[in-house]
Amino acid sequence: MRNQASYPLRNARPAGVLLLVALALLLAGCASAPRLSDATAQKLPSRLLHDDVPFHAQRDYQCGPASLAMVLEHQGVDVSVDELIPRVFLPGREGSVQPEMLATVRRQGRIPFVIDNRFESLLTELAKGDHPVVVLQNLSLPAWPLWHYAVVIGYDRPAGELILHSGEEARRRESFRRFDATWARSDRWGFVALPPGELPTAIDAETAIEATADFERVQGAEAALPGWEALTTRFPNAAMAHFALGNARHASGDAQGAITAFQRAVARQDDLTVGWLNLGLTLREQGDTAAARQALERASALPGPWQEHAREALSALEASTTSD
């Protein structure tokens, strides 16, 4: 899993800080350029530019809201930088931190997916995923950080350059070497903002499930439903994705669809107690007592925090059957 620790954004001050920034640029110039694997290099186009990503100049301390506005507008969300400032900008910290950035994306109806922290993953997402990527850089030294959000919109491999909307400059060109040196200081943190139902090109099941679950907690099961459908298609063997899809379908009123999803979840992970429990409860709701009893008996036999709930549900089922 990616490290999502908060990095407070700070702005440079005159005199001594300017000297540090100059030194940081010198050190970035001495860093080695990131390399792509042969397999990745063969798959990616040599040049790429998402020229439809809007640009907003980033005022002091407000590169976070500006970066969010750019990617959200690109996704069709009607939102302005001024609207986002009070939701993201933390005056006491003179900037924006990652949790607030991701939470704001969710409130705007999009799912933020933190990408894998490799340079080639960034280029692959731009090319194959067809998405701009918000990145966090430290433009100064680790001991005196100058955190900065930018939006990567393209690259030029023959020139060894990335293309970014950054600061007050649209389509800024920055060498792979310098960019990666400043990006590495944030543990190469970056994310894409996508509507439910779309997934990044390179992402693992656990990260995608976590991101979609966080979105569902904000927007609700119905809004997250396309996300869970996409997840089970991309990761058909991920039991928890099927389980979450079952919960979302049930909350949206699709009991039969929920049963199917729960059945697929426990077929992939036979000891998923909560999967058997929810399957049994849903089958009981639909009047299939025999199948409900079988599912609840399986859940009751599995140790863990859900076992007692399963035993209580099984006892209630037996009691209701006897009274009938």
pLDDT tens, residue by residue, 156-179: 999 999 999 999 999 999 999 999
Q: Give me the torsion for CA of 201, 206, 209, 213, rounded to 10°.
A: -130
CA separation (Å) from 240 to 205, 246, 267, 269? 9, 10, 11, 9
| E strand segments, 157-307 | 161-166, 169-175, 190-194
Helix 273-285 to helix 289-300 angle, to the nearest 10 degrees?
160
Helix, strand, coil share of the chain (percent; to 5): 55, 15, 35
Confidence (pTM): 0.85
Q: What is the pLDDT of residue 26?
A: 46
Q: Give me the torsion for CA of 270, 224, 88, 183, rounded to 10°.
A: 60
Structural contact between residues 85 and 67, judged by C-beta atoms closer than 8 angstroms: no
- Please state the domain extents for the chain: 41-194, 208-323
What is d(CA 35, CA 49) in angstroms, rounded to the nearest whole number? 20
- Which residues of the chain fall short of a pLDDT of 50? 1-24, 26-28
- Residues whose CB falls within 8 Å of the CB of residue 256, separated by 6 or more in sequence, listed in order: 286
CA separation (Å) from 301 to 244, 246, 287, 308, 318? 22, 22, 23, 10, 16
- In degrees and rounded to multiples of 5, residue 153 shows phi and psi of -120, -5
What is d(CA 208, CA 225) in angstroms, rounded to the nearest whole number? 14
What is d(CA 74, CA 281) in angstroms, rounded to the nearest whole number? 42
DSSP state of 140: S
Residue 3: count other Cβ atoms within 10 Å of its Cβ. 11
The CATH code for residues 41-194 is: 3.90.70.10
Structural contact between residues 156 and 173, judged by C-beta atoms closer than 8 angstroms: yes
Q: What is the pLDDT of residue 321?
A: 76
List residues bridging with 144 in a β-sheet: 141
Say if domain 208-323 classifies as CATH 1.25.40.10.
yes
Of 125, 128, 120, the closest CA to residue 183 belongs to 120
pLDDT in tens, 3-49: 333 334 333 333 333 444 444 454 445 556 787 777 878 889 999 99
